[in-house]
Chain A
């Protein structure tokens, strides 16, 4: 099983600023995923990050707002740019547990509050 850590675990930020969330995996993985979980909502996939290529964003999410880096096979970052209170959410990274069935290991999440 993969062990995933995220930093920071939580943060409170001011409107208009940016926050970079780090995700570290204890093994090499091809794909890493970033999700958002807003209060009372389901997990929503933001983007898929492959090492060595541009991240693939889901509908409703754009690179300017959520730039992603994937410098190697064990690490990724997600930046939430020019934040507004609507960006307050839990952000989770995950990796595939089984590529055939898309089951995933999740990190502990980053709880972001934007004032």
Chain B
């Protein structure tokens, strides 16, 4: 079965540094991969989508890479701020055209 793995341990970094979150998947070749942000008590908010034929996608301080050989996506936040503290979820299109979500990685940015 398809499986998405995100680091369940929280990532703690200092303000101004680059945060890098990892999403690995197995048993599937998705056409695209998505990243969402979820704050406590809120629903996930879509951030970025990257397609299988794209190596990298950027949006302001966010950068996503997609390595279909490694079956991995990296999500970077440059010049991180305390306001970036949240849980970040990756999701991919499953073989039934439904989104499959990872468990998310909690990011904590300290001033």
B is a partner of A: yes
Please list the residues of chain A having a beta carbon within 8 angstroms of any beta carbon in chain B: 4, 40-45, 48, 58, 92, 94, 97, 101-109, 111
**Contact residue range for chain B?**
20 to 34
A108→B60 CA distance, assembly (Å): 25
Residue of A nearest to B103 (CB): A42
**Other A-B pairs, 5, CB within 8 Å; known A101-B34, A102-B97, A104-B44:** A42-B101, A58-B98, A94-B43, A103-B46, A109-B42
Please list the residues of chain B having a beta carbon within 8 angstroms of any beta carbon in chain A: 4, 8, 32, 34, 41-46, 49, 89, 91, 93, 97-104
Partner of B4, one of A42, A44, A48, A105: A42
> Known: A41-B103, A42-B4. Contact between A105 and B93, CB under 8 A?
no
Main SS of chain B's interface residues?
strand
User: In the complex, are the beta carbons of B46 and A105 less than 8 A apart?
Assistant: yes
A residues in contact with B4, CB < 8 Å: 42
13 of the cross-chain contacts (CB-CB < 8 Å) are A4-B43, A40-B8, A42-B4, A42-B89, A42-B101, A42-B104, A43-B44, A45-B98, A58-B98, A92-B43, A101-B34, A104-B46, A108-B41
User: In the complex, are the beta carbons of A106 and B98 less than 8 A apart?
Assistant: no
User: In the complex, are the beta carbons of A102 and B103 less than 8 A apart?
Assistant: no
Residue of A nearest to B43 (CB): A106
User: In the complex, are the beta carbons of B93 and A102 less than 8 A apart?
Assistant: yes
Kindly provide the distance from the CB of A73 to the nearest chain B CB, expressed in whole angstroms.
20
> Known: A101-B32, A103-B34. Contact between A45 and B42, CB under 8 A?
no
Residue of B nearest to A9 (CB): B41
Kindly provide the distance from the CB of A10 to the nearest chain B CB, expressed in whole angstroms.
9
> Known: A41-B103, A42-B102, A101-B49. Contact between A108 and B42, CB under 8 A?
yes
B residues in contact with A108, CB < 8 Å: 41-43
User: In the complex, are the beta carbons of B99 and A104 less than 8 A apart?
Assistant: yes
User: In the complex, are the beta carbons of B41 and A97 less than 8 A apart?
Assistant: no
Partner of B46, one of A43, A92, A97, A107: A97
Kindly provide the distance from the CB of B44 to the nearest chain A CB, expressed in whole angstroms.
5
